């Protein structure tokens, strides 16, 4: 059974678009507009057409989302009819998605380099054994650094 239930599918010849109203089951509060557009595109085989999510509405206490989608044959026609702010938001969302994907890919690319670096410090640790003894002295220095802070507190109390 499909998660998408079509409530109406109207071809608006005056505006040269197809208007689809759907009930998407089980994704209330979890569904993004871009994900909804992908689902509608796959469900209705709308590859190569411009699909725009106009309205996604949830009802309190229910897990269904009602959505209104406009399907245009080309993007130029859609830009003439729909508020330009919607396209600005879509472009901004695409940039954010691309930026989110890019660091993930960079981390994957850097992972083999980090593994090589992880092997190299293991050899250096053997040579740096005296450095650990120096670290043992470091807490004493921290206590000295905290001492002036205590003096400041004492001065505040005296005032």
Render pLDDT for 8-59 as a digit per residue (tens, 0 to 9).
999 999 999 999 999 999 888 888 888 999 999 999 999 999 999 999 999 8
Percent of the chain clearing pLDDT 90 (strictly above): 43
* Token reading at 61: 């206490």
Q: Is residue 32 assigned to a domain?
A: yes
Q: In whole numbers, what is the pLDDT of the chain averaged over residues?
A: 78
**What CA–CA distances, in Å, run from 73 to 6, 89, 91?**
20, 21, 19
Q: What's the CA gap between 107 and 131, in Å, rounded? A: 31
What pLDDT, on a 0 to 100 scale, did the predictor assign at position 97?
83
Whether 29 and 57 map to the same domain: the answer is yes
Model confidence pTM above 0.85? no
Same-domain status, 29 and 54: yes
Q: What is the pLDDT of residue 71?
A: 96
Same domain, 115 and 98: yes
* CATH number of the domain within which 9 lies: 3.30.70.3370
Answer whether residue 142 shows pLDDT above 80. no
* Residue 110 in domain: yes
Could you give the number of structural domains in the chain?
2
100 is in which domain, residue-wise? 83-132
Specify the residue for token string 């960079």. 106
């Amino acid at each position: 059974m499909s998660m998408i239930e079509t409530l109406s599918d109207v071809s608006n010849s005056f505006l040269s678009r197809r208007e689809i109203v759907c009930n998407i089951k089980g994704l209330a509060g979890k569904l993004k507009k871009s994900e909804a557009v992908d689902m509608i595109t796959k469900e209705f085989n709308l590859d190569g057409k411009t699909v725009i999510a106009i309205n996604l509405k949830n009802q309190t206490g229910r897990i269904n989302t009602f959505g209104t989608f406009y399907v245009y044959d080309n993007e130029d026609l859609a830009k003439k009819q729909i508020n330009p702010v919607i396209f600005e938001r879509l472009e901004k969302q695409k940039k954010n998605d691309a930026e989110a994907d890019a660091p993930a890919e960079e981390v994957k690319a850097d992972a083999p380099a980090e593994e090589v670096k992880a092997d190299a410090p293991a050899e250096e640790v053997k040579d740096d054994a005296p450095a650990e003894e120096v670290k043992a002295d470091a807490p004493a220095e921290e206590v000295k650094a905290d001492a002036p802070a205590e003096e400041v507190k004492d001065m505040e109390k005296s005032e």
